Amino acid sequence: MGMTIAEKILARASGRKQVAPGEIVEAAIDVAMTHDIEGPMVVQGLRELGAKKVWDPSKIVIVFDHQVPANSIDAAINHIMLREFAAEQKIPNFYDVFEGICHVVLPEKGFALPGRLIVGTDSHTVTYGAFGCFATGIGSTDMVAVFVTGKLWFRVPESAKMTIEGKLPKRVGSKDLILKIIGDVGADGETYRSVELVGAGMRYISMEGRMTMCNMGVEMGAKATIVPPDDLTKRYLGGRAKGAYKPVYADADATYVEEHTYDVRNLEPQVACPHRVDDVHPVREVEGVEIDQAFLGSCTNARLEDLIEAARLIKGRRISKGVRMLVVPASREIYLEALRQGILSIFAEAGALIEAPGCAACLGGHVGVLGPGEVCISASNRNFKGRQGSPEARIYLASPATVAASALKGKITDPRDV
């Protein structure tokens, strides 16, 4: 019987020839990632268990990104704890406050490779599926088990397939497409499933755009979101890949519980309205909503391509009076490149605030916290009640182009009109 990409990776990692959805397998983990929020909980769990050594320091990656640099004594204590742990366990791939968001750093440093099985203590670990690997989020106690044994149990997920046809129009991005899909299937539409993003249309979408799409797979409940590797994947990984890799593709007779096709040629800019990721509308329907803050950041949409797209609209103009625009490049590599290309000065001259790489305003625990009644248009992934601060604030999710256009006008604006 044919297998999907998820089934093939889980079969390989659990030493079986064949696996089927619903089966429980114990699989060997290729890369285990944790960060400054969940990492301290993992260390606490290891101590509780009395475990002295991790199974393989070279397979662990630790990234500080949520509270960087530390914004409270508690955050600083967590950082100290994790730094000491990394040193004591001799973990070579430890990235302190300087590198950026884990989901951008792992691909940049070549850990996200086709065919791998990757777990991370963060729900957006699904991002790495853009490289044709099976990557999923787990909690800190599961990570304790991984750190000690190198293995974890998985229920083999059912797979679904989304076929993308055509090329996205100008000013319409991969974020608009994934928002449209989430709006259609719902916030739990793909729960427990592995979703494969395939079709000729995906070939036109850059690695950055694919990461944006896979990143938000979890907002429809997916356990993994996977793009079959191609030449773009290979090109991105050239000079980055940490180790050899072997791309995995689905068999022609693999089983999918659901299939959708999207022709994106006439797709319009989309926005997810508060407080639901699946309350998605064309920007045209919510135009004119006044905003207090515009956030261009997060593991979803703060890669170089996103900054360039937003800068094209902002160049030579001023951010609307009274609007706070926050630009947070997702990693140091992106920050430096944006600096070299003059992108950061375009934002700064327009009146935007530029912050150091990290999760920043996305989760309301660091910079750019919203107050009661405030409205934010955000390039991030979640508009849950209270996500970016006050439960009485409202968050609209949109593409970098829509965020930029809205920052210029002071209200939600279709980027095709700017």
Partner 1 sequence: MSRAWVFGDDVDTDQIIAGRYLVKLDPRELAKHAMEAADPKFASEVRRGDVIIAGRNFGCGSSRERAPLALKAAGISAVVAESFARIFYRNAINLALPVLTCAGVHKGFKTGDKVGVDVRGGKVQNLSTGKTFKAEPLPDFLSEIVHAGGLLRYMKKRSSF
Reference 11, options 121, 154, 135; nearest CA is 154
Query: Under the criterion CB under 8 A, does residue 206 sit at the interface with partner 1?
Result: no
Query: Under the criterion CB under 8 A, does residue 145 sit at the interface with partner 1?
Result: yes
Rounded to whole angstroms, the Cα distance separating 392 from 248 reads 46
Question: 88: which 2 tokens?
Answer: 């004591």
Contacts of 345 (CB under 8 A, 6+ apart): none
- Cβ closer to partner 1: 88 or 290? 88
Which of 45, 329, 357, 415 forms a contact with partner 1 (CB under 8 A)? 45
Q: What is the dihedral of CA 110, 115, 117, 121, to 10 degrees?
A: 50
Task: State the nearest-atom distance from the C-beta of 50 to partner 1, in Å.
Answer: 8
**Containing H/E element for 94?**
strand 93-95
Query: Under the criterion CB under 8 A, does residue 74 sit at the interface with partner 1?
Result: yes
Query: Under the criterion CB under 8 A, does residue 49 sit at the interface with partner 1?
Result: yes
Q: Confirm if 409 and 182 have CB atoms less than 8 A apart.
A: no
Instruction: Answer whether the bond into residue 79 is a cis peptide, omega within 30°.
Output: no
Rounded to whole angstroms, the Cα distance separating 352 from 345 reads 9
Burial of 188 (0-12, 13-18, 19+ CB in 10 A): exposed
Task: State the nearest-atom distance from the C-beta of 311 to partner 1, in Å.
Answer: 28
First to last CA, the chain: 52
CA-to-CA separations, 331 to 137, 247, 309, 338, in angstroms, rounded: 20, 26, 17, 10
Contact region with partner 1 (CB under 8 A), list: 174-182, 250-258, 336-344, 357-365: 357-365
Which of 89, 98, 141, 356 forms a contact with partner 1 (CB under 8 A)? 141
Interface mask toward partner 1 for 373-412; x: CB under 8 A = ---------x-xxxx-x-x---------------------
- Cβ closer to partner 1: 123 or 255? 123
Q: Token match 């409940």: residue?
A: 221
Q: Token match 């509270």: residue?
A: 67
Query: Under the criterion CB under 8 A, does residue 38 sit at the interface with partner 1?
Result: yes
Which of 23, 89, 187, 292 forms a contact with partner 1 (CB under 8 A)? 187
Contact region with partner 1 (CB under 8 A), list: 97-105, 147-155, 159-167, 194-202: 147-155
Rg (C-alpha) for the chain, rounded Å, is 20
- Cβ closer to partner 1: 96 or 268? 96
Which of 20, 192, 246, 318 forms a contact with partner 1 (CB under 8 A)? 192
Contact region with partner 1 (CB under 8 A), list: 233-241, 281-289, 313-321, 359-367: 359-367
Query: Under the criterion CB under 8 A, does residue 369 sit at the interface with partner 1?
Result: yes
- Cβ closer to partner 1: 277 or 403? 277
Query: Under the criterion CB under 8 A, does residue 37 sit at the interface with partner 1?
Result: yes
Task: State the nearest-atom distance from the C-beta of 250 to partner 1, in Å.
Answer: 22
Query: Under the criterion CB under 8 A, does residue 28 sit at the interface with partner 1?
Result: no
Task: State the nearest-atom distance from the C-beta of 88 to partner 1, in Å.
Answer: 18
Contacts of 354 (CB under 8 A, 6+ apart): 327, 328, 329, 344, 347, 348
Instruction: Answer whether the bond into residue 329 is a cis peptide, omega within 30°.
Output: no
Alpha helices (H) in 22-149, listed in sequence order: 39-49, 73-88, 102-108, 140-149
- Cβ closer to partner 1: 136 or 413? 136
Residue 250 φ/ψ, nearest 5 degrees: -75, 150
Alpha carbon 219 to chain centroid, angstroms: 10
Query: Under the criterion CB under 8 A, does residue 221 sit at the interface with partner 1?
Result: yes
- Cβ closer to partner 1: 277 or 283? 277
Residues that bind partner 1 (CB under 8 A): 24, 37-38, 40-41, 44-45, 48-51, 66-67, 72, 74-75, 78, 120-123, 125, 137-142, 144-145, 148-149, 153, 187-188, 191-192, 218, 221, 223, 276, 363-365, 369, 382, 384-387, 389, 391
